[in-house]
């Protein structure tokens, strides 16, 4: 459960906490904030988080670079590459 932006360990059924109040992590969510929050939970106050924290489909750096390349940029890369 989140208390503001801080995670909090709770017990369902105590102090009015319901199952619907719990934070359910979505590894495919658009924002990485929740994944960083889970990965940084301090020990021993919180359980150890295991599993996939972030799983998104995005182009790799190489794909972006190649997708934006122009004949001029290809010549520049070729001219600056080490010769074998």
User: In this structure, is residue 22 part of a structural domain?
Assistant: yes
| Domain count across the chain | 1
User: In this structure, is residue 83 part of a structural domain?
Assistant: no
The model's pLDDT over 6-33, given as tens digits with 9 standing for 90+, comes to 888 899 999 999 999 998 888 888 888 8
Cα 66 to Cα 69, 70, 73, 77: the distances in Å are: 5, 9, 10, 11
Among the ranges 45-54, 63-72, 73-82, which has the highest mean pLDDT value? 45-54
Q: What percent of the chain has pLDDT over 90?
A: 15
The pLDDT score that the predictor gives to residue 84 is: 45
User: In this structure, is residue 84 part of a structural domain?
Assistant: no
């Amino acid at each position: 459960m989140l208390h503001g932006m801080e995670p909090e360990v709770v017990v369902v059924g105590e102090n009015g906490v319901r199952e619907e109040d719990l934070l359910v992590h979505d590894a495919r969510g658009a924002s990485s904030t929740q994944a960083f929050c889970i990965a940084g939970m301090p020990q021993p106050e919180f359980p150890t988080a295991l599993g996939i924290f972030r799983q998104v489909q995005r182009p790799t750096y190489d794909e972006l670079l190649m997708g934006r390349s122009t004949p001029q940029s290809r010549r520049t890369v070729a001219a600056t590459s080490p010769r074998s």
